[in-house]
Structure 1
Amino acid sequence: MTSELLSFARRRSQRLGRDGARAVVEVGPLTIERPALVINRMTTPPDAAWRSAVPGEREYAAAELTAFVLSWLRALDCPVRNRPEPVCLAGPAPHPQLAQLFAQRSGLACGEGIRSGTYAQLVVLDGEILNPEEIAQRAGTAMPRGFAASVSSFAHAVGADTALIGIDMIVGEGQWLFQGVTPLPALPAAGSFLVDGLIALAESHRSAAPREGVQA
């Protein structure tokens, strides 16, 4: 479901009350009400339908739709990777200098110490590197000892404990140097590991949810 399709929704409704939040979004024949899992990769509000409006109306619509997305995806009780934030609707996106500071504190090497290196992106789900063996094989260099723990610590530091992020690295001469972080990783690099991880998230939530008629 793209942001552009969401902008042409026939209905957007969210009700907040003592019993929590209830939302319904209707896009064509599809009704989104209680999803089992959400992977959010929305960088802009779903305002494509308003692009031809006069500036004042377009800006107003963008602000209202941004507020709706923030409230809607924040209130869902299913696993959401990544929940939107006011700074970035796609999830954790710290300032580059702040990200580098957290990387250094987490034990990740930073800087420009490699003359000739290879780019590699780590796809990290809830602090765990997905498909690490294949990533290391493509990079031609094994990951340093304690590297996975440093990545997990970094994810925690930037608020990505329950998020899907990409960590950009330059690899060479036996080193893995941190280059940046993105809430929009290249998903094919994670392969079936990502699919398995997301299925496990959905199943874990479903098994933990209280059944109707059963006291939690």
Structure 2
Amino acid sequence: MELHQLMEMGDMETTTFGPLDKYVPANDNKAASGDDLLYDFLPTADGGVSFSRRERLGDWMQTYTGRKFWPMDPRADEVLIEDIAHSLSLQCRYAGHCLRFYSVAEHSVHLARHLRWQGVEVALWGLLHDASEAYLVDVPRPVKPHLPGYKEAESKVMAAVCERFGLSSTMPAVVHDADNRIIGDELVNLAPMDWHARYDDPLGVNIRCWYPAQAEEEFLATFEALMDCRARGME
């Protein structure tokens, strides 16, 4: 089945994102060099510069594309969109306590498409707002405050993501608001409970529960289309 047949975008036209049926994942990152060291550059008394080596903080993890990534010491040039898309497509929202598998990647695509009318940059932030979870996993909201160091690590990885893709360092308020409101749409995939009543202002998106491979493809297609819009100077 072609991608344009798989695309289900509610009331949003496929043309919003341009031709997606010939999408080929693309990124200008190179394979990791294997250099595990950073360099500190220090001024010398004679006005010159000296440098000293320092090891990367923590250990590295292997990514889907076979690269090294230091989650405690992230670099923008080691962030790869294919790694993000693949990892998020295999991670289930709500720690897996859903009626059907529903990925972080699909959640992100719905946000991006809903926010497209707010501008390309906002939509990109919506697509990538959970990108740090590709390297730190999706931790349930009640758990995060009780994991020492997690918020700091999350901030560092997101800073690297923002630098890599040229996003503002602060999440737009409209993205944060949509990330909360979409919970109201996602409740159809959870067993009914009293707390659901708090989310009475949903976005109105249709949760599809895509298979991981489709979620990955939709994520990459949306990213490529938004980057193309940006390159053409579209708002």
Provide TM-score, normalisation by structure 2. Answer: 0.26
RCO higher in structure (CA 8 A, sep ≥6): 2
Provide TM-score, normalisation by structure 1. Answer: 0.28
Structure with more of its chain in helix, by fraction: 2
